[in-house]
Amino acid sequence: MAKGIKKFAKLAVSRLFRPFKPLIKPLRHPLVLTLVLTGVLLTAIGGRFYPAGIDYDLLEAAARQPWQTQANYLKARAEIAAWEKLAVVRPYSKDILIKLALLYDQIGEVQKALDYFNQAQYLDPTISPLPFSRP
């Protein structure tokens, strides 16, 4: 029985390999294979350090600061005001403090964000500091 399965597997692989044989056969030579893999590796390394375009830095900065437009900034400010009113009513709610920390971080007020996060972490030490880990 195992002999039949082995024979079937060999036949299936050979039939699947057949259309690709003309493409793969030249690559089976060790020198060609080494050169192709070296070329792929160098392309990958070079592509890692080469910026994608002229506006790459601007796009990267915009991705880090999603609240750049005035309308979005005003929406965030309104949301912060609402959450701060709620924080006055429930000052010991870690969820409210974390939400305020995240909102302040999104608009770029990092010090206030860290203050709110530290208050929340004081209430619950198991909170992960991951969103506020700055390089």
- pLDDT tens digit sequence for 70-126: 677 788 889 999 999 999 999 899 999 999 998 888 887 889 989 999 999 999 888
Q: How many CB atoms lie within 10 A of CB 101?
A: 24
Q: Which CATH class is domain 67-128?
A: mainly alpha
| Structure tokens given for 21 | 């044989």
> Tell me: the pLDDT tens digits for 61-86?
666 665 566 677 788 889 999 999 99
Start and end residues for every CATH 1.25.40.10 domain found in the chain: 67-128
For residue 108, which of 59, 78, 68, 81 has the smallest C-alpha distance?
68
Question: Amino acid identity, residue 46?
Answer: G
The pTM of this model reads 0.49
CA 106 from centroid of its chain's CA atoms: 17
In whole angstroms, what is the distance from residue 28 CA to residue 22 CA? 11
